[in-house]
Amino acid sequence: MDEVNAIAEGVWGRILRMKILYFLIGCAWLHIILSSQYEALMLKEQKMLMADMSFFLAGLGAVLSVLTLTFDLSKDLRQGTAIAYLSKSVSRTQYIFGKFLGTVWVGVVVTVLIAIGFFMIHNATYGSLPVVMVKAHLLIIISVLPMAAIALFFSTILSEAAAAVLTVATIWMAYSANAISSVSMLYGGIVPDLSLFNMRMEAVHGTQFGWSYIGLAFIWSVVYSVGLVSLSGIFFNKRDLG
Amino acid sequence: MQNAIEIKGLTKFYRGKFFRLSVNPSLDNLNLNIPQGCVFGFLGHNGAGKTTAIKCLMDLIKPTKGSVTIFDLPVDSKEARKKIGYLPDAPSFSSHLSPNQFLKTCAKLVGLDWQLRKQRIEEVLTDVGMLEYASNNMGSFSRGMMQRIGIAQALLNKPELLILDEPLVGLDPQGRRDLLTIVQKQKELGTTVFFCSHILSDVEKLCDSVGILSKGKLLFAGALNQLTSSDGIVVKFPAEHLAIAQSFMMQADSSKKIDDGGVALEFITNNNWQLIKRASLPSNVIIEAHHGTLEEEFFKLTGEDTPGNT
């Protein structure tokens, strides 16, 4: 496990040290603050706009965080960093699992920071914070797991550009539950059902959903991620590197 | 003595378009044993298959056929990896990291205790002359500096087997000398060194054994002195006997001027030097055994002429 931690630390240690990341999170917070000012435009429903904006930005932050993996892995392989690491006593499976965990941690930090900003702004503006908002944000944070697994899978078999495009396309498809729900084999199976994590509508309109739902979504995302990371491991182990 | 590396029947065909296997193998039934403590130079032209062989040794690419063991351990085992230090060909490690950060991750991966990490990183950076750049971003490093960092990470775990893929490429004369000193030091410590290089004079200086690879096939593997051993004679004619030298010029394999204005004739082909042996030569004509250089033997084996020979 030390080897996995070392690889994971290499990923999050590097990304979380980037100043641009905090600048972008600051921009997200500013956007949330500004959206609370559209009183006339939103016919005094700007609270909903602000909540919706925070969910959108947290989701975007999660997608961008997992996309770093598609570039990171290919770059490491191309530059020889991965080869230097893999020449030590670390297996290929441990290496990609470390990359996965590091990316998940980055995604979690980014989405948590955006959510915390929103909670503080909401609380300061309206004096309260509905629990459903916290729950919906929690689901976005959990969604980092399957999304990172998708990014890892494509990066282990494809070049960085192809992996990034296919990752975005798959995530988009996975969120478009209505569009593909008729293809039962794909929906909720090979392509994950990420609409499970999309509770923006419920949160904005104050419709309650239980903690058990979040628990089940978490279990599903862990199982799906373990499956896909293992599959990625099989492909990565068979691949010629360098 | 235990072999550090054992390669049996190693064959590699790369896959091309539509996953079809290439017609010509990159490695063709390579068999090689490298004893522990040996400094082995792996030579060959570009595309001969040296890097492919090294990548098979490191389990970075999977052979089509054959097997590799390191200290009798399978090449993909963690125990084998713990004994290896590897410098990849033309490394360009993450440009956003400093050598300290990069080597810290490497130190964790080789299982160095956290108390020892800082000290060991400083030691290897000192060895490769990069201590003053330890905190600089590697993005600004030249190829030679990157090569030194690559050597530093390979030495981090005090390896029993050091595998260096073109270690001298990109190094300035000082860097080359430093590297040769490092290899020499490792040799004295009993480390097995396996390296491939195009700089034959350096290989000749350092290696006990060499392997010559051409088009994926091993043409020679053995002790360096076995390759460059006596295989003919050199007859040195002083200036006053140039006329006699002239009469043998046609039979000689090559000739060159010597310091006193005389000429040295090389007779490598058997029939020619038998002729010289039978001739009665003046007493101040010196006959010596001919020792081929590694460069001459390399070109002879790979079927090319030695550059600059007359």
pLDDT in tens, A34-57: 887 776 666 667 778 888 888 899
pLDDT of A208 reads 81
Q: Which residues of B touch A240 (CB under 8 A)?
A: 14, 55, 60-62
pLDDT of B308 reads 44
Q: What band does A117 get if pLDDT is binned at 50, 70 and 90?
A: very high
**Together in a domain, B183 and B108:** yes
Domain boundary among B221, B256, B283: B221
Q: Is residue B239 part of a domain?
A: yes
**Could you give the percent of chain A with pLDDT greater than 70?**
91
**Together in a domain, B132 and B242:** no
Instruction: Decide which of B245 and B271 is more confident.
Output: B245
Mean pLDDT of chain A: 85
Q: Which residues of A touch B74 (CB under 8 A)?
A: none
pLDDT of A182 reads 58
Domain boundary among B221, B243, B273: B221
Query: Taking CA atoms, what residue in B is nearest to A79?
Result: B92
pLDDT in tens, B161-199: 999 988 887 778 888 888 888 888 888 888 999 988 877
Domain boundary among B199, B221, B243: B221
Residues 6+ apart with CB under 8 A from B233: B266, B267, B273, B276, B287, B288, B289, B290
pLDDT tops 90 at residue B206? no
pLDDT tops 70 at residue B241? yes
Q: Is A93 on the interface with B (CB under 8 A)?
A: no
**Together in a domain, B208 and B267:** no
Q: Is residue B309 part of a domain?
A: no
Helices of type H across chain B: 50-57, 78-82, 99-109, 114-127, 143-155, 173-188, 200-206, 224-227, 242-248, 270-278, 294-301
Q: Is residue B270 part of a domain?
A: yes
**Together in a domain, B193 and B268:** no
Number of structural domains found in chain B: 2
Q: What band does A180 get if pLDDT is binned at 50, 70 and 90?
A: low
* Dihedrals phi, psi of B34, to nearest 5 degrees: -120, 115
Q: Is residue B124 part of a domain?
A: yes
Domain that holds residue B256: 229-291
Distance CA A28, CA A46 (A): 16
pLDDT of B309 reads 44
In contact, A230 and A149? CB cutoff 8 Å? no
Cβ-Cβ contacts under 8 Å between A and B: the total is 87
**ipTM surpassing 0.90:** no
Helices of type H across chain A: 2-15, 19-35, 46-79, 81-86, 92-126, 131-142, 144-157, 160-175, 177-180, 200-205, 211-238
Alpha-carbon distance values, B209 to B203, B222, B225 (Å): 9, 5, 8
| Of the listed ranges A128-132, A231-235, B197-201, B271-275, the one predicted with least confidence | B271-275
**Together in a domain, B149 and B251:** no
Residue numbers of A between 11 and 40 with CB closer than 8 Å to B? 13-14
CATH code of the domain covering residue B250:
3.30.70
pLDDT in tens, B8-31: 988 988 877 666 777 778 888 889
Q: Is A234 on the interface with B (CB under 8 A)?
A: no
Q: Is residue B182 part of a domain?
A: yes
Q: Is A9 on the interface with B (CB under 8 A)?
A: yes
pLDDT tops 90 at residue A101? yes
Partner residue facing A84 (CB), from B76, B88, B96: B88
**Together in a domain, B149 and B245:** no
Residues 6+ apart with CB under 8 A from A60: none
CATH code of the domain covering residue B51:
3.40.50.300
**Could you give the percent of chain B with pLDDT greater than 70?**
90
**Could you give the percent of chain A with pLDDT greater than 90?**
32
pLDDT of B310 reads 39
Query: Taking CA atoms, what residue in A is nearest to B90?
Result: A80
**Together in a domain, B134 and B21:** yes
pLDDT in tens, A187-208: 555 667 787 888 887 878 878 8
- Sorted by where each begins, the domain ranges of chain A are 2-238
Mean pLDDT of chain B: 82
Query: Taking CA atoms, what residue in A is nearest to B99?
Result: A81
In terms of Cβ atoms closer than 10 Å to its own Cβ (0-12, 13-18, 19+), residue B173 is exposed
Instruction: Please compute the mean of the pLDDT values over residues B202-224 and round it to a whole number.
Output: 83
Q: Which residues of B touch A2 (CB under 8 A)?
A: 108, 111
Q: Do B88 and A91 touch (CB under 8 A)?
A: no
Partner residue facing A80 (CB), from B14, B88, B106: B88
pLDDT of A190 reads 65
Instruction: Please compute the mean of the pLDDT values over residues A10-37 and round it to a whole number.
Output: 86
Q: Is residue B146 part of a domain?
A: yes
pLDDT of A181 reads 58
Q: Do B109 and A85 touch (CB under 8 A)?
A: yes
**Together in a domain, B129 and B187:** yes
Interface of B with A (CB under 8 A): 14, 55, 58, 60-62, 76, 78, 81-82, 84-86, 88, 90-97, 101-102, 105-106, 108-111, 150, 153-154, 157
**Together in a domain, B213 and B259:** no
**Together in a domain, B114 and B203:** yes
**Together in a domain, B12 and B117:** yes
**Together in a domain, B135 and B248:** no
pLDDT of A165 reads 93
Partner residue facing B81 (CB), from A89, A241, A242: A89
| Of the listed ranges A68-77, A213-222, B9-18, the one predicted with least confidence | B9-18
Crossing angle between the packed helical segments B99-109 and B143-155, to the nearest 10 degrees: 30
pLDDT of B20 reads 72
Q: Is residue B304 part of a domain?
A: no
